[in-house]
Chains A and B, each alone.
Chain A
Amino acid sequence: MLLITCPWCGPRDDNEFHYGGEAHIARPLKASELSDAEWAEYLFLKQNAKGPFTERWSHSAGCRRWFNVVRNTATDEIIEVYPMGELPKSAEGIKAYETNWRRESAAQKNAKAGASDK
């Protein structure tokens, strides 16, 4: 069982929370330019890290707000809690974010390219 510190409500038992899976997956903005394989990669392929992992949680039985967490999936140790829209600040969190294969993926690049067009 995890003790998760909601940024707004403080430390709570994990059954107050809803898990949102991997964090920082950017939706491709020009979906029509992606191949089926690239789209499948965005939709289905998982990071599934053993070790520090960036993930999303929602305090669904409390304030109902979403936030990000860096957790070591091998030990269940929670390393860092940080707001949506921000990047991790702990050394483990930064490494987990930067070494994620998604940063190199076509879907991720497509999401960035779309953003710069605006």
Chain B
Amino acid sequence: MKGSASGMRALKGGSSRYSIFALARNALSYHENWQKAWRSPEPKPEYDVIIVGGGGHGLATAYYLASVHGIRNVAVIEKGWIGGGNTGRNTTIIRSNYLWDESAGIYEHALKLWEGLSQELNFNVMFSQRGVLTLAHSEHELKEMRRRVEAIRLNGIDSEVMTPGQIKKLVPIIDTSPTIRYPVMGGFIQKRGGTARHDAVAWGYARAADDLGVDIIQNCEVTGILREGGKVTGIETSRGTIRAKKVGCVTAGHSGVVAEMAGLHLPIDSRPLQALVSEPIKPCVDTVIMSNAVHMYISQSDKGELVMGAGVDSYNSYSQRGSLPTVEGLLAAAVELYPIVSRLRVLRTWGGIVDTCPDASPIISKTPVEGLYFNCGWGTGGFKATPGSGHVFAELIAKDEPNRISAPFSLNRFETGYLIDEHGAAGVAH
């Protein structure tokens, strides 16, 4: 590294942004003097708010706390490295075509934020509105789909039914012949849906939050939640005690473990969710196609890999690997629907641990412990919600009251019975 300024970010007023001029300037010095995107500060003894979990949702929460609510004395505590958990393991799909008004509220809120995110963060999150198509494989499913499309449109969200002929035109590699085991009877598409670069989302939020003074503390594991008289007073970590009156936990996959530290129990089962990619091939599919009945979804990455996702495993596990039958089921469906897949090698498979809720909807909530908040239970579909989730969670923490969008996702819904049953629209069986 050349130059004493490299690696030290210029703060307030002097922070440079990514632009064509910055690119030209740095090109002249062989790209060796780009500043670090975020600092790596030592943890302070006390913060106004601590966010546990440095994934997309946690970083987004910290960013909106600082940018919308002016709370800048914030720390994001991450056990490993930011974006190293489920943020980097998901299949990057974004959509808001949910059945119930409550879900439409939060996912559409997120989608609207996605649409301006690269500009807002000055960081290219590679949001690509390539459309998300969901297939129907039976008369019943098609009828259910028509109902869902109408419900979605009533909420002001784009959605339209497609015939097998239209689907074949959009996705030439699909087999729409009536002779396959689960023939394509139709489907529906949300054209504003698509994908984004998941790592860039974490990095973009990290850089923007850091710019506003948020401390991002990596390699720091939370080992305990400190409480006094029913109130949160801080956290115990592998790098010592850090105090705060408000702690927001956003630790997908391990929410149950973190809740246990505060003596709380959540309605969550943690299960492996698997995905895989093929070897890279030429562009052959330019949309996202999901299928609930035969349980697979597919898209093509910018590198050319076909990205395929399976369902959750049937049993609880924190092992971060899933079972082979789940992958076999996914591949069987993929080969039948997209015959070219049969010739491809599987490059790699992986599993992440997801928090599944009984109603397949997330929890964005205060807890019985004052000052302790949880944002979890996103199950198989948290990535698409990243900006919206962070936005409403930041407001909950800042104002200590949920807003209209997050209120239905409070923990007390399990007590009142007002569940938001989204198993149908969740896309993957829970």
Contact = CB atoms under 8 A, between A and B. Distances in A.
B415 A50 contact: no
A48 B415 contact: no
B314 interface: yes
B325 A14 contact: yes
Contacts of B269: 21, 46, 48
Given A1-B323, A15-B323, A73-B318, A36 B415 contact: yes
Interface in A15-43: 15, 18-19, 21, 36-37, 40-41, 43
A92 interface: no
Interface residues of A, number: 27
B325 A15 contact: yes
B314 to A, nearest CB: 4
Interface string B207-238: 00000000000000000000000000000000
A74 B319 contact: yes
- Most A-side CB within 10 Å, residue of B270, B315, B324: B315
Interface in A44-103: 44-50, 53, 55, 73-76, 101
Interface string B265-282: 111111000000000000
A113 interface: no
Interface in B64-119: none
A60 to B, nearest CB: 11
Interface string B181-193: 0000000000000
B414 A50 contact: no
Given A1-B324, A50-B254, A50-B256, A45 B267 contact: yes
A46 B267 contact: yes
Interface string B160-204: 000000000000000000000000000000000000000000000
B316 interface: yes
Nearest to A41: B265
Nearest to A51: B318
A76 B319 contact: yes
A42 B298 CA distance: 38
A9 B219 CA distance: 46
A115 interface: no
A46 B256 contact: yes
Given A45-B266, A45-B267, A48-B266, A19 B416 contact: no
Given A19-B314, A40-B414, A40-B415, A46 B266 contact: yes
B35 interface: no
Contacts of A75: 319
6 contacts: A18-B314, A45-B265, A50-B318, A55-B315, A73-B318, A76-B319
In the A-B complex, the 9 residue pairs with the smallest Cβ-Cβ separation, listed nearest first, are A48-B256, A44-B267, A15-B325, A19-B315, A1-B323, A45-B265, A19-B314, A40-B415, A44-B414
Interface of A: 1-2, 13-15, 18-19, 21, 36-37, 40-41, 43-50, 53, 55, 73-76, 101
Given A15-B325, A44-B358, A44-B414, 6 more contacts: A43-B414, A46-B267, A46-B269, A48-B266, A50-B270, A73-B318
